[in-house]
Chains A and B, each alone.
Chain A
Amino acid sequence: MASRIVEFTLNGRLTEVMVKPLTTVQTVLREQLGYTATKSGCKQGGCGSCTVLVDGQPMMSCLLPAEDIAGQDVVTLEGLTPRDGLHPLQQAFVDNYAAQCGYCTSGMILVGKALLDSNPEPLRDDIIDALAGNYCRCTAYEPIIEAIQDAAGRMAASNGKEAHR
């Protein structure tokens, strides 16, 4: 079968790609579009380093055929990063030393983003549960959990400021 054109929204921008049958979102992002913040780890759905948000929900891009996301909204770490500076989650990861090799970081931050979008004041257990599918093999999880807690506080504080303006 010939390749097909798939249209989807990538980080807010309407994107069109030509894909061979069963090409994954991970391959499209990294190899066709050059969005390499999404990592390629186990390709088994087991490590979480390839996590992207599809309509706001974390999914393993290594298991997701590109044709399945036609018309949907995909966010990668590139899309989270503002033009200037860092997203509060990114800044909190820096300030809490939550990254060492950085391979898991993109997935961790995106899961953190999806969590804080649905639950702005997560308990520690909520964070642990949300991160259960994402493996880190060097920083260990404690600074990552703390970074997400920290980011939740920062984002609540800045939302509060805006509300009082």
Chain B
Amino acid sequence: MTTQAYYLPKSVDEAVGLLAEHGPSLLVMAGGTIAMPLINDGISFPERVMGLRRAGLDSISRSNGHHAIGATVTLSRMLTWDEIPLLQKAAHNVGGWAIRNMATVGGNLFAPPPSGDFAVALLALDAQVVLTSAAGQRVVPLNDFYTGFMTTVVQPGELVSEIRVPVPAGQTAYLKFARRETNTPSIVTVAALITLDGQRVSDARLALNGVGPHPFRARRAESRLIGSVLDEAAIAHAGELAAEASDPMDDAVASAWYRRKMIPVMVRRALAQIVAKEASDGI
């Protein structure tokens, strides 16, 4: 069956109106880098598709201590947006140039592991997701956004319209371990944000991708770090706790066993980067 209708709404109002009218049978697409491959292969054959490229969701603004990033801002744009270096680094770790010109910030939230290496950085930044429907808006922490592999809290009639990113305090690190340097699926990706109060960690966020059904935060590893000094023992223990929290899968990229083994290694390297940054900032 071929697609019967393709809508290109010119505003969010028009977009949520179409969603209200057609319900879950309307496939929402932004850059097309996730939906179109499935459609081209005949794995997905939606009767109705809505593209968001012209819906006016591509602005970036700042208010009340956070950055508001429109859902259809492309990853290429995030690469040149230098307010949050962690997001630049993450954007560079998704696809190649042409894919980044198409793929969007909002769309990456729906990229299943071992994709989704932009969303994992948003998770470390404690981003919030704005969901818009004909009835209004609600804001959900990205941390509560995922409910399973390729499932989210997005309800019928809702679409992701904006991502809110608090202006980060502290040091960040982003490490993607993969088979190639770029344009490659993840074996393990680590996005970390550490805030220090003197020598001790006052806030720790450790987000992982490629090693679970969706990007997730390793809460017990974070708790282990908070209040402690970033020494070898604390870092090693946090890495072990992060591995315990994972639920990696076997695929063509790597085995679950290997992915789990690599988690403490990548966590250690990410935290070592933060220790090194702190040391150089302190000089």
Contact = CB atoms under 8 A, between A and B. Distances in A.
Interface of A: 1, 20-22, 24, 43-46, 48, 51, 54, 57-60, 62-65, 67-68, 111, 114, 129-134
B36 interface: yes
Nearest to A55: B101
Interface stretch (B1-9, B171-179, B231-239): B1-9
Contacts of A44: 37, 40-41
Contact of B76 (A43, A45, A57, A131): A57
Which 9 A-B residue pairings sit nearest by Cβ, starting from the closest?
Answer: A133-B96, A21-B6, A1-B5, A43-B40, A63-B36, A132-B96, A44-B37, A58-B98, A132-B182
Contacts of B5: 1, 21
13 contacts: A21-B3, A24-B36, A43-B40, A45-B37, A45-B95, A46-B37, A57-B101, A60-B102, A62-B36, A63-B32, A63-B40, A64-B36, A133-B96
B49 interface: yes
B6 A22 contact: yes
Given A63-B33, A67-B8, A132-B97, 4 more contacts: A45-B98, A60-B98, A130-B97, A133-B95
A1 B76 CA distance: 33
Interface in B27-42: 31-33, 36-37, 39-41
A68 B53 contact: yes
Contact of B101 (A21, A59, A65): A59
Interface majority SS (helix, strand, loop, mixed), chain A: mixed
A111 B41 CA distance: 25
Interface residues of B, number: 29
B254 interface: no
A59 B3 CA distance: 22
Contacts of A22: 2-3, 6, 39, 49
Nearest to A51: B98
A48 B98 contact: yes
Nearest to B27: A22
Contact of A62 (B40, B101, B181): B40
Contact of A111 (B39, B51, B98, B182): B98
A51 B4 CA distance: 26
Contacts of A67: 6, 8, 51
B4 to A, nearest CB: 6
B199 to A, nearest CB: 37
Contact of B4 (A21, A54, A111): A21
Contacts of A51: 98
B98 A133 contact: yes
A144 to B, nearest CB: 14
A24 B98 CA distance: 15
A38 to B, nearest CB: 12
B198 to A, nearest CB: 39
